[in-house]
Structure formats: C-alpha cells, structure tokens
C-alpha cells in the first residue's frame, strides 16, 4: 500500500504492518525477546556496521516497537521514528541528540512541568543551557539565539494556557540559522502535523492520546527527514563531525545510503544504546492498540470538550474558561490555523472562590478521576498548582500560566450528559449551591 496517499484514519490502522510473514498473524505480535539470531558472521558484522538495518538487541530496536515507530512516523508525515520508555525520555533525547555541554537551546516557556524541570535543572546541570522565551512572540526565539544555539523547542498546544504555538513562524526563523524546531505534539495528534508547518522533529508522550487508555508509559520522536543538517555544519556539529563513539562516523554522511535519517539514527544508535531508555515490546503493543483508534477517539475528545467549554462559559460561578474556542485575536487565529478538526480534549477553568473552591470541586467529582495524566479514555481532573506544577516556584507557576485556582480537565469519551452531570454536581458542591 502507498502509505503517503492514505488518510490518517487508515494509516492509524495499517501503517507499518500487513501480517506476520511466518505465521500470517494479523495483529502485531509481541516480540518479547532480548536478542535476535544472526544469519551468519557477515550478517552480524553488517548490522553492527549499519550497512543494513536490522534487529540486534531489544534495547536498540525490536520488531513490535518498529511497527509503532513506523505507524506514528506515517501519522506525523515523517521518515523515521524512535520509541523510548517515556515522554520525558523523548524530550531529553530530542535535545541531547543535538546539544552537549556548552551548547544551548531556546525553548518556549509554556511547557509541561516535567519538561520545564528537565530543561531548567537537569539539562542545565549537564551543561546544556535552555533559554526560555515567550511563545507568543516568534521574534523572541531569534533574540535568544547565538552561535551555540542548537535547537528550538515548543509544545503545539501547551497547557495550562492552551494557546497554540506559532509553528511556521518560529520554524522559519530557525531555518535562517540552520536551527531545527522540535515540537512536542502530545496534546494534538492528528489535529496538527507540525512537520507540515516547517518543524524538523516531533515528539510525543505516547502515554497520552496516542496510547489513549492510560495503561502504558511511552515516548516517541519522529524525524521529518527534510531538515538540511549539512547546510550549516558548524551549527550542528553532532551530526557533521566524526563521532568517536561509532568508529568516527559522520552521521550526515554515514546515512546517505539509508535515507534522510541522520538525526533519528544517531538518537537510536548512540543515545538509546548508551542511556538505555528503551520501550518494552509489551508497551509498544499496548500503545499500538491505542493508535488504531486514535482518529475516532480524538474526534470524540474534541466534541465532548467543546460542549464542556460552552457549558462552563455560560455557568454562573465560573470566572474563566481556558479553551481555544474562548480565545480571540492572535491566539484564536493560531488555533484555527494550526489545529484542524477540533481543539483536543484539554480545558481549564477557574471558579469564583479561587483555590478553595477549586479543591472542593475536585473532591466532589464522582466520575472524573483525580489523576496526574491527560489524554485518557476516562475524564480526568487535576489542580496543577498543588500537583503537576508544584515543584515550580510561585513566579515560575505564573510564567507557565498556572494560577492558584486553575483546574485542568482532560475530557474523556464518556457520554456528554454523564460528563456534564458529574461536573454540575461538583460545581454545586464547590459553589455552595
Ligand atoms: N510532554 C507533555 C506535553 C506531557 O503532558 C507529558 C506528561 O504529562 C510529557 C511530555 C512527559 O511524558 P511522560 O509522562 O510519558 O514521561
């Protein structure tokens, strides 16, 4: 099948797999094995020398995981992907594959709290400086750039503000310098394809919508295959100078017979080899089950969330609803430019009565789960200031858009009447009605 011509709904079910050649199995088998028998000594040597790509050891690749990688790469319009053990590992690898001690990246400040911590503290301790900028002003990326800037980084639909990132504008600035834009597209699979707007790399926490059932932690990086890493070799030394840890390979040259996969191949054979954050074949299988229904699920997440946004916007006692449909001006224009088919399943709101009312609301929910997750089939709620963003200082919380009374909802796939009934019950309890 020509995958490029197929629609996302079809790719989500078919990309990367037809049937098992030895058994005819239609479902992707779980290859629960650490290692793979080489045909002979020449075969083993050629795999290790990357003359041909193939299975060596499950830390580096695995046939079950390979299908997941191909499928998400097809959905995002990329040429290759690397699955890893979590979204956090994907964010770390996406940056560490381009930047080392002494280098910097420029990142939007509107980030998931875990990514913010990784960037502000752990990468900093490793000598990689992350320069945080206001995502609403694309020129801020240019201003923060210097000769050691290796990448730009942002989320498509960052919570809590839920203001869509100016992907094409920032990607275009990056291209002037030879700097790739890495997009975390966790919140918007199928709704937005950042690679179509000029991003070079996309990452996902597959824990969320891609997996969709709250069973398995995972992460994935997709290589768009179009970024010209050689155009400005001093800008990207890790892909353009000999790599001592792989017989002096220069990745942009070494991959020439294999396709435009310098970035993603290096991430696999250097970072995954050395740091070992591999996805287990069982998790890859679980996440593949989720991918098969992601298109249908996303539609329902979007429509349910829109109905909740409309309901809360008209509700007495709700002081603010944070959802792209409530935005105006530039923020709304970006949402409509970059998101097609809906605004995802995330929504925030504030109650009159602030923190106390917010806490009462969460405690009074009966069907919604109170958990630190999003993108699940179930509806979820959390109070970010006291949980996901609690390791940030008060100023950092405000900078990332977490006000004290903010409640975040991840709207699930239940019937909308049941979702609204649960919200109403909790609102009445919180507002003392
Ligand atoms: N990126 C975003 C936007 C997230 O929401 C999360 C987790 O909440 C992550 C990355 C990290 O993913 P994981 O929890 O799979 O490590």
DSSP code per residue over 147-180: TTEEEEEEESS-TTTT----HHHHHHHHHHHT-P
286: its two tokens: 């679980």
Give the atom of ligand 1 at the shortest distance from the alpha carbon of 158: 3
> Ligand 1 centroid to 111 CA: how many Å?
10
Range list for CATH 3.40.640.10 in the chain: 7-282
Question: Where would I find the beta strands (DSSP E) of 201-259?
Answer: 201-205, 219-223
Protein residue with least CA distance to atom 11, ligand 1: 87
If you write DSSP's letter for every residue of 11-38 in order, what string do you get?
HHHHTT-S--TTT--SSPP----SB---
- C-alpha closest to that of 225 among 274, 196, 254, 263: 263
Q: Which fold has domain 294-431?
A: 3.90.1150
Of 94, 20, 24, 22, the closest CA to residue 64 belongs to 20
pTM over 0.85: yes
User: Which residue's CA is the closest to the ligand 1 atom numbered 12?
Assistant: 87
Residue-wise pLDDT tens for the chain (433 aa)?
Answer: 554 589 999 999 999 999 999 999 999 999 999 999 999 999 999 998 888 889 999 999 999 999 999 999 999 999 999 999 999 999 999 999 999 999 999 999 999 889 999 999 999 999 999 999 999 999 999 999 999 999 999 999 998 899 999 999 999 999 999 999 999 999 999 999 999 999 999 999 999 999 999 999 999 999 999 999 999 999 999 999 999 999 899 999 999 988 999 999 999 999 999 999 999 999 999 999 999 999 999 999 999 999 999 999 999 999 999 999 999 999 999 999 999 999 999 999 999 888 888 889 999 999 999 998 999 999 999 988 878 777 778 887 777 778 888 899 999 999 999 999 999 999 999 999 9
Whether the CB-CB separation of 407 and 383 falls below 8 Å is answered with yes
Strand arrangement of the beta sheet that strand 346-351 belongs to: 318-322, 346-351, 406-410, 380-382, 369-370
The response to whether residue 260 sits with its C-beta less than 6 Å from ligand 1 reads no
Best probe residue, ligand 1, of 160, 184, 205, 277 (max atoms within 8 Å of C-beta): 205
Distance CA(347)–CA(407), nearest Å, equals: 9
Q: Which of 72, 84, 87, 164 to mutate to test the pocket of ligand 1 (most atoms within 8 A of CB)?
A: 87
Where are the domain boundaries for CATH 3.90.1150.10 in the chain? Answer: 294-431
User: What architecture is the 7-282 domain classified under in CATH?
Assistant: 3-Layer(aba) Sandwich (3.40)
Question: Among 146, 144, 187, 190, which Cα is nearest to 165's?
Answer: 187
């Amino acid at each position: 099948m020509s995958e490029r011509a197929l629609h996302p709904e079809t790719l989500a079910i078919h990309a990367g797999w037809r049937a098992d050649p030895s058994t005819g199995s239609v479902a992707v088998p779980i290859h629960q094995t650490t290692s793979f028998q080489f045909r002979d000594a020449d075969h083993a040597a050629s795999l290790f020398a990357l003359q041909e790509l193939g299975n060596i050891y499950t830390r580096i690749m695995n046939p079950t995981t390979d299908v997941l990688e191909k499928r998400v790469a097809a959905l995002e319009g990329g040429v290759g992907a690397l699955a890893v053990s979590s979204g956090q590992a994907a964010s770390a690898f996406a940056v560490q594959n381009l930047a080392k001690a002494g280098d910097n990246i420029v990142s939007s400040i509107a980030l998931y709290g875990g990514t913010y911590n990784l960037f502000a503290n752990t990468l900093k301790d490793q000598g990689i400086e992350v320069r945080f900028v206001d995502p609403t002003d694309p020129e801020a990326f240019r201003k923060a750039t210097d000769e050691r800037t290796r990448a730009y980084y942002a989320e498509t639909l960052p919570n809590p503000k839920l203001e869509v990132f100016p992907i094409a504008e920032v990607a275009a600035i990056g291209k002037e310098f030879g700097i790739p834009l890495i997009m975390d597209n966790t919140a918007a699979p199928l709704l937005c394809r950042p690679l179509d707007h000029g991003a070079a790399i996309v990452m996902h926490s597959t824990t969320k919508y891609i997996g969709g059932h709250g069973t398995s932690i995972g992460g994935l990086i997709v290589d768009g295959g179009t970024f010209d890493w050689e155009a400005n070799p001093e800008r990207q030394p890790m892909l353009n100078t000999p790599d001592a840890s792989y017989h002096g390979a220069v990745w942009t040259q070494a991959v020439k017979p294999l396709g435009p996969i310098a970035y993603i191949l290096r991430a696999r054979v250097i970072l995954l080899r050395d740091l070992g954050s591999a996805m287990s074949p069982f998790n890859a299988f679980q996440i593949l089950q989720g991918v098969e229904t992601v298109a249908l699920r996303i539609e329902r997440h979007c429509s349910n969330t829109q109905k909740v946004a409309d309901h809360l916007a008209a509700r007495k006692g709700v002081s603010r609803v944070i959802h792209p449909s409530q935005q105006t001006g530039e923020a709304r224009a970006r949402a409509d430019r970059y998101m097609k088919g809906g605004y995802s399943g995330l929504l925030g709101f504030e109650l009159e009565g602030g923190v106390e009312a917010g806490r009462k609301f969460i405690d009074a929910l009966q069907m919604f789960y109170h958990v630190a997750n999003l993108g699940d089939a179930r509806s979820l709620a959390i109070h970010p200031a006291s949980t996901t963003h609690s390791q940030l200082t008060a100023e950092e919380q405000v900078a990332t858009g977490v006000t004290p009374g903010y409640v975040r909802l991840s709207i699930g796939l239940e019937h909308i009447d049941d979702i609204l009934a649960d919200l109403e019950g909790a609102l009445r309890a919180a507002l003392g009605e």
